[in-house]
Structure 1
Amino acid sequence: MMQTDPITVLAIFTPAPGARSQVLEVMRKYIPRVHGEQGCDLYCIQEEEKTGRIVMFERWASEHDLDLHSQGRIVDELNRALDGLLVGSPEVTRLWPIPIGDPQRGVVRPAY
């Protein structure tokens, strides 16, 4: 059953040895394009200091919007551009909120 609530995604990318700057350059090209997609509330990257893995946080207005993004041209182009620059495939996990405590701090929200 398709969820209609906001959905968060955690995606982890492991750059191949020596490919970090190339991976970031690819992401610099595609991330701004994703920001304009329907339902994109948050799409940002962070770096895990000890391992150098790049962690992407995404928040979509609905699972439907996420599915459109996942099956869309931008993701296809991004994946092709990252081919050979990563160790393995990105680890992608879909997460649904379990609000607890303060409504402003108990769920992932967009930065704006």
Structure 2
Amino acid sequence: MEHVIAAATALTMLAGAFFALSAAIGVVRLPDLYSRMHAASKAGSVGSGLLLLAAGLYSGELAIFARAAAGVVFLLLTAPVAAHLLAKAAHETGHKLWELSVRDDMEGR
């Protein structure tokens, strides 16, 4: 059973590291604020959540795993909402979209 938990922890850590890396690359490479914020909030939340779950699995204690799971739920509930509010504030202050963006759904509001 110990090997199964170790393998699950390793896979969860690798998946979390992949999502965190893709979020970091997205923040550096994407062209505008809105795309960067999307990469940071979506992939960053999933990556951080998986790494937090890996830490909870590695501990081997139910109480610590429950705290880690609660942290993941909190992270997945708050990070996208915060990114949405930041993007809305950026749009209201006049931050422009990338010139190759197809449409602006918030235009005129």
Q: Output the TM-score relative to the length of structure 1.
A: 0.25
More strand by share: 1
Higher helix content, 1 or 2: 2
Whichever of the two has the greater Rg, that structure is 2
Give the TM-score, by structure 2 length: 0.26
